């Protein structure tokens, strides 16, 4: 098994990332939608929680067809979220508190209202025609091939005035850029530089989370995708399920682009190291290729402690905990397979939720969501938390008239809507949970249990989910074995998942009971950091042999 114990890791390796969905975090402008000033106002709560970096989903000028993932200007702030001055205050406020700021960047597509696309669709001879993926109709006048949209139906939309189709991996309001065009690359890299230099003193942002990084390049011969042999549903099922994305995803040319983005970030990393995170939904063997090849990066090996300097994304997001059945044997197998697949020098990472996925507490239940917190925060590699998960927030109930997400509107009734996991943060017991003023309607409804689950209520309860998160984050910060140590002895026995984290002689043993029954385990003698019942209120001696149902035990073994 691949280990990376000890030594001088960088902030994004030892730290914990927290995702903020800006529409839903804190409204200060009284319009029912969160904003940048709201994030600034809540930074102290995040410092208190114990995270190290925030990743903020898009706040660029946008028609909001996909709530900001349709960007109309890569170097601005949508008035809904504030101004560039608000951004400068946010980055200054984050840095003053020792927090890093990671921007969400959307390189695969723009809004159809972006000036580049308006120019591109103007005429076949427009100077930016080739910035997007235009193609003549098939002989029958239909779309050029079978490429699908992730949001239902064909990915091709016909443009009447110029008589060609353009391709969009998502909404028709999100045309895909042509990443084979060097001018497109330069324009995106220029926008990245803008943010890397923005803010007081020009220190800039600490990294990017790159949207759909594995989709950037499509087949240059526009070949149709083959059918998916594992699909057995009806013909009305989303097209994307019916095909293998052989020509629309994970094309080898993508790696070179990722390496160029990384080199760009490295060129800014002399004083403040930056991080490149990739949103990549792929099986593990394909995912780990996005770490890149050794040594082709511009940067010197001094920046990282590992022997090999890989030149790709430092964190290709690992979503496999979201996709794996919540069973000890399956998760143990996942941890072993992922660790074994990491190339030398690659730093692992783990994710339990985001703005596109059903909430953790609704996927595996409130009780196991607390066990999952212990897992996420004791595994080897950088954890990314999704806002609200520290409260055990479940999915919100969205009535038919409250649906906002185009993924749901385009494919109704299939459970594909993402509104439930985007419900406003619940801060306190006041009307609208402190998210927005009482007389304003939040853009999405609150979760039902907000009067009990809210942040202020949980702060007062030393056995709350928030207390478990705060305790685990503090332990992770305190013990090198947890934030940078090795992992070994990954096993599953009677529904209990176990592993050991170690740094030199220090060993921490983790036992997670993924079942509804108490289980006996063989533990090392030592100091119990988290006791059964997820009691994190103080250290005690013991050789815990029982892990209660839906619980976990973390022990610092005697030397």
Query: Interface with ligand TEU by CB under 6 A: which residues?
Result: 66, 69, 106, 150, 170, 211-212, 279, 281, 355-356, 407, 418
Find the shortest distance in angstroms from Cβ 551 to ligand TEU.
31
- In 3D, which of 285, 417, 287 has the Cα closest to residue 355? 417
* Alpha-carbon distances, residue 103 vs 28, 201, 208, 418, 498 (angstroms): 21, 18, 5, 21, 35
Ramachandran quadrant class, 479 (left: phi over 0; alpha: psi -120 to 50; beta: rest):
beta
Find the shortest distance in angstroms from Cβ 394 to ligand TEU.
17
Q: Where are the beta strands (DSSP E) in 194-243?
A: 207-210
Q: Are 421 and 357 in contact (CB under 8 A)?
A: yes
Cα gap 515→126, rounded to integer Å = 61
Q: Are 348 and 13 in contact (CB under 8 A)?
A: no
Tokens of 241: 């399920």
Find the shortest distance in angstroms from Cβ 221 to ligand TEU.
24
Q: Are 283 and 249 in contact (CB under 8 A)?
A: no
Cα gap 295→544, rounded to integer Å = 46
Find the shortest distance in angstroms from Cβ 553 to ligand TEU.
34
Q: Return the bridge partners of 259, or none.
A: none
- In 3D, which of 136, 116, 238, 285 has the Cα closest to residue 187? 116
The residues, any chain, with a CB within 8 Å of residue 132's CB and separated by 6 or more, are: 116, 117, 120, 121, 166, 167, 175, 176, 177, 178
Which residue number, 169 or 454, has a Cβ lying nearer to ligand TEU? Answer: 169
Which residue number, 191 or 303, has a Cβ lying nearer to ligand TEU? Answer: 191
Find the shortest distance in angstroms from Cβ 401 to ligand TEU.
22
Find the shortest distance in angstroms from Cβ 72 to ligand TEU.
13
Which residue number, 81 or 170, has a Cβ lying nearer to ligand TEU? Answer: 170
Find the shortest distance in angstroms from Cβ 360 to ligand TEU.
15
Q: Is the dihedral of CA 468, 474, 476, 481 positive or negative?
A: negative
Which residue number, 62 or 519, has a Cβ lying nearer to ligand TEU? Answer: 62
Find the shortest distance in angstroms from Cβ 501 to ligand TEU.
30
Which residue number, 283 or 344, has a Cβ lying nearer to ligand TEU? Answer: 283
Which residue number, 168 or 483, has a Cβ lying nearer to ligand TEU? Answer: 168
Which residue number, 107 or 199, has a Cβ lying nearer to ligand TEU? Answer: 107
Q: Are 485 and 502 in contact (CB under 8 A)?
A: yes
Cα gap 168→149, rounded to integer Å = 6
Find the shortest distance in angstroms from Cβ 155 to ligand TEU.
12
Tokens of 352: 């339990």
Find the shortest distance in angstroms from Cβ 105 to ligand TEU.
11
Which residue number, 95 or 150, has a Cβ lying nearer to ligand TEU? Answer: 150
- In 3D, which of 231, 238, 224 has the Cα closest to residue 153? 238
CB count, 10 Å around CB of 507? 21
Which residue number, 410 or 484, has a Cβ lying nearer to ligand TEU? Answer: 410
Which residue number, 261 or 492, has a Cβ lying nearer to ligand TEU? Answer: 261
């Amino acid at each position: 098994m691949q280990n990376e114990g000890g030594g001088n890791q960088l902030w994004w390796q030892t730290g914990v990332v927290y995702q903020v969905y800006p529409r839903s975090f804190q409204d200060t402008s009284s319009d029912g939608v969160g904003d940048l000033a709201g994030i600034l106002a809540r930074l102290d709560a995040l410092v208190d929680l114990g995270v190290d970096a925030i990743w903020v989903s898009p706040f660029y000028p946008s028609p909001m067809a996909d709530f900001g993932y349709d960007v109309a200007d890569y170097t601005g702030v949508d008035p809904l979220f504030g101004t560039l001055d608000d951004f400068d205050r946010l980055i200054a406020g984050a840095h003053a508190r020792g927090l890093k700021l990671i921007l969400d960047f959307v390189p695969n597509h723009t809004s159809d209202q972006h000036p580049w696309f308006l120019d591109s669709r103007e005429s076949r001879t427009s100077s930016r025609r080739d910035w997007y993926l235009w193609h003549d109709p098939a002989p029958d006048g239909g779309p050029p091939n079978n490429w699908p949209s992730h949001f239902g139906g064909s990915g091709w939309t016909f443009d009447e005035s110029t008589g060609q189709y353009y391709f969009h991996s998502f909404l028709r309001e999100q045309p895909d850029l042509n990443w084979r065009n060097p001018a497109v690359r330069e324009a995106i890299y220029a926008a990245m530089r803008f943010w890397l230099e923005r803010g007081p003193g020009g220190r800039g942002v600490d990294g990017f989370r790159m949207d759909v990084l594995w989709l950037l390049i499509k087949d240059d011969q526009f070949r149709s995708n083959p059918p998916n042999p594992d699909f057995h549903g009806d013909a009305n099922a989303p097209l994307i399920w019916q095909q293998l994305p052989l020509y629309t995803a994970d094309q080898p040319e993508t790696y070179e682009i990722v390496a160029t983005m990384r080199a760009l970030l490295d060129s800014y990393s002399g004083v403040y190291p930056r991080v490149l995170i990739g949103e990549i939904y792929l099986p593990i063997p394909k995912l780990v290729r996005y770490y890149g090849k050794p040594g082709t990066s511009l940067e010197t090996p001094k920046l990282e402690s590992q022997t090999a300097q890989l030149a790709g994304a430092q964190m290709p997001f690992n979503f496999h905990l979201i996709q794996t059945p919540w069973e000890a044997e399956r998760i143990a197998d996942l941890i072993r397979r992922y660790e074994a697949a990491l190339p030398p020098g690659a730093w692992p990472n783990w994710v339990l939720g985001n703005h596109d996925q059903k909430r953790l507490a609704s996927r595996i239940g409130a009780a196991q969501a607390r066990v999952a917190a212990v897992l996420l925060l004791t595994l080897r590699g950088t954890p990314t938390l999704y806002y609200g998960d520290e409260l055990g927030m479940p999915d919100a109930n969205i009535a038919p008239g409250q649906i906002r997400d185009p993924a749901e509107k385009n494919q109704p009734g299939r459970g594909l809507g993402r509104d439930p996991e985007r419900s406003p943060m619940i801060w306190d017991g006041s009307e609208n949970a402190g998210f927005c003023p009482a007389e304003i309607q939040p853009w999405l409804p609150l979760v039902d249990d907000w009067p009990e689950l809210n942040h202020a209520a949980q702060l007062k309860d030393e056995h709350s989910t928030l207390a478990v998160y705060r305790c685990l984050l503090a332990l992770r910060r305190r013990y090198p074995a947890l934030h940078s140590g090795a992992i070994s002895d990954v096993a599953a026995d009677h529904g209990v998942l176990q592993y050991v984290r170690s740094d030199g002689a220090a060993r921490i043993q983790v036992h997670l009971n993924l079942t509804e029954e108490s289980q006996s385990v063989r533990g090392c003698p030592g100091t119990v950091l988290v006791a059964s019942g997820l009691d994190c209120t103080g250290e005690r001696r013991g050789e815990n042999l029982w892990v209660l149902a839906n619980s976990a035990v973390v022990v610092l073994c005697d030397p």
